[in-house]
Structure 1
Amino acid sequence: MEQTWRWFGPQDRVSISDVAQAGATGIVTALHHVPTGTVWSPEDIARRKDEIGRKRDGSPSGLAWTVAESLPVSEDIKKQQGDWKAHIAAYKESLGNLAAAGIRVICYNFMPVLDWTRTDLAWELPNGATCMRFDLTDFAAFDLHILKRPGAAEDYDAALQEAAARRFAEMSEADAEQLAGNIVFGLPGAAERFSLADIRAHLAEYAAMREETLRQHLIDFLSEVAPVAQAHGLRLCCHPDDPPFPLLGLPRVMSTEAHYKAIMDAVDSPANGITLCSGSLGARPDNDLPGMMDRLGDRVHFLHLRNVKRDTTEIRGSFYEAEHLGGDTDMVALVRAALKEEARRKAAGRADCSIPFRPDHGQDILDDLGRRAQPGYPAIGRLKGLAELRGLIAALEPGIAPA
């Protein structure tokens, strides 16, 4: 399994020199400064590769750009409106430019409006560490009383509405602003930041869209770009919804194994694959992560290994980012399943027999607490997670029989 590390570019407070010390060999990054829907130029790609290849003192880092995450899909493509056809053309051109630069794995998502949602970006744990958290009551308070989305009350039962009203009544103006800021934070490092007005405008445009329509738009997108990716030897891999259940009245199409299978079957190409994120999918108790790896593993092109601790057994509920080996997902079973898939690929002679993974997210511990890196992406917390996963792989790998 190839050990990678997400890096948000030169402004990231975890430097390439830091990553080199962590022991990763591959970098997962994107051109966050390039507006969504425009081409990633060869010059910008080459510049980012050069930044990855050098430490602070200019000496070689030994690191390579392994995965592009994310080459973003525009809202116009998801809604099939405005400049969506031009955006698909730009996407295809970007794929060609990435291939020419030797980057083979392309991660993206198809979540409407927000790329992920948390209500607290620095929730304090009993040991003093902090982590990201999704609190359903806080989210309902935002939806009902801050965003004031039309029809929002239909999405919450009476008990949750009452709890949300009490929670909002306890908030100061600063608390409410902080909550709203946390929820609309979007993808860390992304060029776009949404205001409440932006959110309302997007929601209005999605108001009549059903799950079936959004799924078809994803299939239409993949029908265009997957052949291009396959021709270039690229592996596209869709990230799951985060969290994996409907929010803000928006449809979700990549939250379950059934969702993924439908898309894999509809666009049956080796270039059309999966980013198996154990944290996103693990926030939903009916998702069987080791089983998904067993059953869909031949199309898993990228792994995000992280863990969450759920507050409830309900499909939709609160959770927080746990230690990598300490949440509700059986990480030992998942990594064992991934190693078995690698053995199958090696026996079949596949060039992609080593699946890239990254220690996704992490708790802020020790010096992380003063570093104020991208939420969810601390230096030491991820280093701890990578070390735990590296040890787990070393312990399991000798017992994996050749396929």
Structure 2
Amino acid sequence: MYSTNHTAGSETSNVRVVDFRSDTVSLPTANMRKAIFEASVGDDVYGEDPTVKELERRSAELFGKEAALFVPTGTMANLLAIMVHCSKRGAEAIAGDLAHAFLYEQGGAAQIAGVQLSTIKNAPDGTFCLDELRTRFRGFDVHEPKTSLVMVENTHNICGGKVVPLQWLEDLAKICKQHSSKLHMDGARIFNAAEYLGVSVARIVRDVDSVCYCLSKGLACPAGSVLIGSADFIQEAHRLRKALGGGMRQVGFLAAAGLCALDEIVPKLGDDHKRTRKIAQAINDMNSSIISVDLENLHTNILLLKILSKKITSSDISTRFAQVFSKEIESEITDTQGRGICVKVSARDWAFTRIVMYTNITDEEVDLAIKKIKYVIKEYEQNIV
């Protein structure tokens, strides 16, 4: 999904890599590896894996819903929600135009489920206009598809890890009920939202019909997501999971990592937010004419570095962050062992580059990244007229 920048063109291979491309590159902790190794397992297709059943039970309880289902990926979780809520082919679901389910899940709603996605413009804070939404429900005319579902993302990925307001969610849910439409939340990073708001995940999803969260992003698990909703919803999602190839056997090894993450990683998500803000503050204090950050509206573990100059692109910046040249070593842009610093960030055809924090990143690595980022920004400022 995102470009991978190595140290191509660098003059030295002796580097210290700090990888901010995504929290998907996070690695299991020592406790998590131990839990995986010692997990009790069974055949999950038969409903006999005790560790999967415990993760599902605990997830449903945490989110205040009736049932949950372990699935391989967040993409499958979102697709299952679409398939259950839009049970008739030719139905319509509404999503933000910057939603992950619309941009980066290969059109699975149309390709597999036979559901048309209709988009509504996302605001910078991850919300969309509710007045416009009221006009978008269809199905009253024989020529139209029936709008059966509205999807919302929280935290919002492309909007920079924004947490959508609770009041907005409440108002959104009321509109959906008025139009007999279901509401699904792509909550890949919902625990980050709960940390930012200082409330439980159950409070955030109180008014939605279904929600999913990802284990393999900021929660550092090797794979997996959990889909949550009513008992009837999960029963149908369980059936459809088999059709999508998501029927797994001794998957308790992965579920054990998820249980560990709920105990070990979730309580520490605030540290990721603080480290993200430290980088943002350092860039903001530079008052650069090349790169800026929106420090005031930084919510969670995703930081967008906005490119201000038309003479450079996000790919230019990301490539340069990842390169190490001898002049940097001479200027002591190094770690304590004298190694150059390679900082990996995400870049596409965006007007920004993206930094994502996760549990494996240390305070030392944050300081090293700040040193390198500031050096590169100053370099650009000197060379771009």
| Structure whose alpha-carbon radius of gyration is higher | 2
Shared fold (TM-score, shorter chain, > 0.5): no
Higher relative contact order (CA 8 A, sep 6+): 2
**TM-score computed with the length of structure 2 as normaliser:** 0.27
**TM-score computed with the length of structure 1 as normaliser:** 0.26
